Amino acid sequence: MRRGNLFIVSAPSGAGKSSLIKALLERHSLDNSMAVSVSHTTRATRPGEQHGVHYHFVSVDDFKALINQDAFFEWAEVFGNFYGTSRLAVEQQLENGIDVFLDIDWQGARQVREMMPEAIGIFILPPSREELERRLVGRGQDSSETIAKRMNEAVSEMSHFDEYDYLLINDDFETTLDRFRSVVLAARQSLDNQRQANTTLLDALLAVK
């Protein structure tokens, strides 16, 4: 059996990252061959979010204890809150041949790349600055100060786009989902993946009689 691929997916808030990952898994992981890693975070729960589904919501003390136990594959402070990826959960899924998606920021991405250079980085960008602003405003009745702060955070995250292997511009949701899926399917056809998945076939084909 092949080992799963590890995909790092980063984007500024408002680029559509979570919706794209959700749609990819719902529509194209009917065989459960893909999973998204559920991170730990110290930030407050937003309406509609469930503990254990969107995040494992923990206190700062609990988060620090997990750091000390070396429980995180990577962790970072993102705009005032701590976020981390569980080492054990990711490793088990990869071992079981499941492709794992890490929805993490550029700081986490750098740590993962250092430990696992074969991880595949995907960066998602909005189609324009105006559209990004529209999406950030559309989220609620926030003050213009809060929106300006979010825009600055988005620009800061976007400045790291060139540290990734693939760039998806989310101009149209369905088209972007197709492109996203293509990246995942192409990775499964890599020599390394195919060699691992087809050892018996390759041995049989190359046997000298």
- For the annotated binding site for ATP, the residues are 11-18
Cβ proximity to ligand 5GP: between 99 and 105 the closer is 105
Minimum distance of ligand 5GP from residue 74's CB (angstroms): 6
Classify 71 as helix, strand or coil: coil
DSSP label at 2? P
Question: What is the Cα–Cα distance from 151 to 89, expressed in whole angstroms?
Answer: 33
Interacting residues of 19 by C-beta distance below 8 A, sequence separation 6+: 173
How is the chain split among helix, strand and coil, in percent rounded to 5?
Answer: 45, 20, 35
16 is an interface residue for ligand 5GP by CB under 6 A:
no
CB of 133 to ligand 5GP, least distance (A): 17
Residue 5 in contact with ligand 5GP, rule: CB under 6 A: no
99-138 positions binding ligand 5GP, by CB under 6 A: 103-105, 107-108
Q: Which two tokens stand for residue 164?
A: 């990734």
Cβ closest to ligand 5GP, residue 83 vs residue 180 = 83
Which tokens in the block code for residue 137? Answer: 């405003």
> What's the number of CA atoms in the CB half-sphere (13 Å) around residue 47?
2
Q: Taking CB under 6 A as the criterion, which residues in 52-81 touch ligand 5GP?
A: 74, 76, 78
Interface with ligand 5GP, residue 39, by CB under 6 A: yes
- Nearest distance from residue 73's CB to ligand 5GP, in Å? 9
Gap between the Cα atoms of 152 and 78, Å rounded: 13
Q: Does 176 bind ligand 5GP (CB under 6 A)?
A: no
Q: Are 151 and 132 in contact (CB under 8 A)?
A: yes
Interaction between residue 85 and ligand 5GP (CB under 6 A): yes
Query: Which residues are at the interface with ligand 5GP (CB under 6 A)?
Result: 13, 39, 43, 74, 76, 78, 83-85, 103-105, 107-108
